[in-house]
Chains A and B, each alone.
Chain A
């Protein structure tokens, strides 16, 4: 056990410093009052929490959840076959894996701008469709929820592919052989055998995608035309433009609490993520 404690020590220290201490500060801030020009000051108050009981915020939360859920589902559907392909590609595994990661080493912002480029009224997609006479007027592909979801999927796909790949890669091929021997066709084997066995990877990927999507704000600003406020925008606003740290702190804690509840509900015995 001594080894185990030794191994855990550095992480424990880092978590205490970068996670727990700041969290304590956030909790304290959420109970203070906004300073005249930003910052925090006494007196203590729970007003920041009582402000949360406004239906405006419920709408914002629900919309953010919806968008994050759709993006996560799409990542799963699109990422699973890709992870399977990589896991089965033999000696080129690392190459294909790297090709998934490579786009994401450029700035997220630039990749988002690239999509704005493509989806604009005078962008390539619309120009091509117009030239082929499939449409007569440019389609409004940009500045709506669909574009935001597309941006999120594009941004977070590797976070789904990597854990899926890690799980698929170690699957025992004899299990699939057994399924085949028992007469299952490839599709049936996939649904009945592979998928359930990959459940841990799926859950890992889903969390790695869903949670950041929930807190995103750059994507909805750039691809959504900044027309809708998501939780991420709201929180970011409090900490920057509005300089209302106490309310921002309360919002963040509320968001984290809800996310933790969901994660807790999605837990399976013996299959904890962490």
Chain B
């Protein structure tokens, strides 16, 4: 079965990555359109010149990093708390968060902010976007961490308590290490969801908080633009290098 799995995995990874490779190939196309017409770096130059694109990429990164950090920490704590003793209304609202279509979440958040801004003289901006991102990432983090907790042995913590640990100590020293793979998975999920989000972000972003998906959607709606190919190729290979690097470091 191991061999069969490996073969399957090869096809699965091909399915996942081939479209990206095609994107990358066409980012070097000298023509604007989908017909190959020669090698060119012009689109990468266009990206470097486009201040809007660069600024929005920075915004996206900042938002994703902050939102992921906050959501992962808060969500892990919440999952632990729920595992200790459930809370119907908290579970219910997290459920709701998963069930609500993005457009509804976005529109309702916008309505809420508009209400608040009548009294508080604030504006839409990075803070509203980050708040929204943390809000919708939380449920994902809680689900993943809680799934792992469900198969965790409660008696381990009890044993720690019997041996004199504080409640927090038991959590920190005993349970948390067990949760690390789930936390890592949850963080990755939260980051993915945040950096890729278009609908909610476009509704609650302010003048200063354009994100990459927003710029991309704007360009893409007007027709395929190889500059986008260039951007995504840069992002993917940049991150790819980072991941491979961290793997190397981890193993030394």
Q: Do chains A and B touch in the complex (CB under 8 A)?
A: yes
Q: Could you tell me if B150 and A17 are in contact, using CB atoms closer than 8 angstroms?
A: no
Whose C-beta in chain A lies nearest to the C-beta of B87?
A8
Q: Could you tell me if A248 and B107 are in contact, using CB atoms closer than 8 angstroms?
A: yes
Given A4-B84, A110-B216: A239 in contact with B103 (beta carbons within 8 A): yes
Instruction: Please tell me if B117 contacts chain A, counting CB pairs below 8 Å.
Output: no
Q: A8–B34 Cα gap in the complex (Å)?
A: 51
Q: Could you tell me if B192 and A101 are in contact, using CB atoms closer than 8 angstroms?
A: yes
Given A7-B77, A256-B96: A167 in contact with B151 (beta carbons within 8 A): yes
Instruction: Please tell me if A147 contacts chain B, counting CB pairs below 8 Å.
Output: no
| B75 contact from A11, A157, A159, A214, Cβ within 8 A | A11
CB distance from A1 to the nearest CB of B (A): 7
Whose C-beta in chain B lies nearest to the C-beta of A203?
B147
Q: Could you tell me if B103 and A110 are in contact, using CB atoms closer than 8 angstroms?
A: no
CB distance from A46 to the nearest CB of B (A): 19
Whose C-beta in chain B lies nearest to the C-beta of A79?
B12
Q: Could you tell me if B93 and A204 are in contact, using CB atoms closer than 8 angstroms?
A: no
Instruction: Please tell me if A143 contacts chain B, counting CB pairs below 8 Å.
Output: no
Q: Could you tell me if B182 and A100 are in contact, using CB atoms closer than 8 angstroms?
A: no
Q: Could you tell me if A260 and B135 are in contact, using CB atoms closer than 8 angstroms?
A: no
CB distance from B73 to the nearest CB of A (A): 8
Q: Could you tell me if A78 and B12 are in contact, using CB atoms closer than 8 angstroms?
A: yes
User: Interface readout for B197-226 with A: 1 if CB under 8 Å, 0 if not?
Assistant: 011000000000000110011001000100
For the complex, would chain B's binding face be called helix, strand, loop or mixed by DSSP majority?
Answer: helix
User: Which residues of B lie under 8 Å from residue A1 when comparing CB positions?
Assistant: 84-85
Of B2-10, B44-52, B119-127, the one touching chain A:
B2-10
Interface centre among B22, B100, B181, B217 (most CB of A within 10 A): B100
| A85 contact from B9, B26, B143, B184, Cβ within 8 A | B9
User: Interface readout for A66-82 with B: 1 if CB under 8 Å, 0 if not?
Assistant: 00000000000010011
Q: A88–B109 Cα gap in the complex (Å)?
A: 42
Q: Could you tell me if B103 and A215 are in contact, using CB atoms closer than 8 angstroms?
A: yes
The range of chain A's interface size is 35 or more
User: Interface readout for A13-26 with B: 1 if CB under 8 Å, 0 if not?
Assistant: 01111111111011
CB distance from A231 to the nearest CB of B (A): 7
User: Interface readout for B213-245 with A: 1 if CB under 8 Å, 0 if not?
Assistant: 100110010001000110010011001100110
Instruction: Please tell me if A169 contacts chain B, counting CB pairs below 8 Å.
Output: yes
User: Which residues of B lie under 8 Å from residue A215 when comparing CB positions?
Assistant: 100-104
Instruction: Please tell me if A36 contacts chain B, counting CB pairs below 8 Å.
Output: no
Q: Could you tell me if A166 and B90 are in contact, using CB atoms closer than 8 angstroms?
A: no
CB distance from A64 to the nearest CB of B (A): 10
Instruction: Please tell me if B63 contacts chain A, counting CB pairs below 8 Å.
Output: no
Q: For window 67-105 of chain B, which residues contact chain A by CB distance below 8 Å?
A: 74-75, 77-78, 80-82, 84-87, 90-91, 93-105
Interface centre among B16, B112, B115 (most CB of A within 10 A): B16
User: Interface readout for A177-191 with B: 1 if CB under 8 Å, 0 if not?
Assistant: 000000000110010
Instruction: Please list 19 pairs of residues, one from A and one from B, whose beta carbons are closer than 8 Å in the complex, sorted by A's number.
Output: A1-B85, A7-B80, A7-B81, A11-B142, A25-B108, A82-B9, A94-B184, A105-B192, A115-B19, A122-B34, A157-B16, A166-B148, A169-B181, A170-B151, A190-B1, A235-B103, A236-B103, A239-B107, A274-B94
Residues of B within 8 A of A (CB): 1-2, 5-6, 8-9, 12-13, 15-17, 19-20, 22-23, 26, 34, 74-75, 77-78, 80-82, 84-87, 90-91, 93-105, 107-109, 111-112, 115, 131-132, 134-136, 138-140, 142-144, 146-148, 150-151, 167-168, 171, 181-182, 184-185, 188-189, 191-192, 195-196, 198-199, 212-213, 216-217, 220, 224, 228-229, 232, 235-236, 239-240, 243-244, 247, 250-251
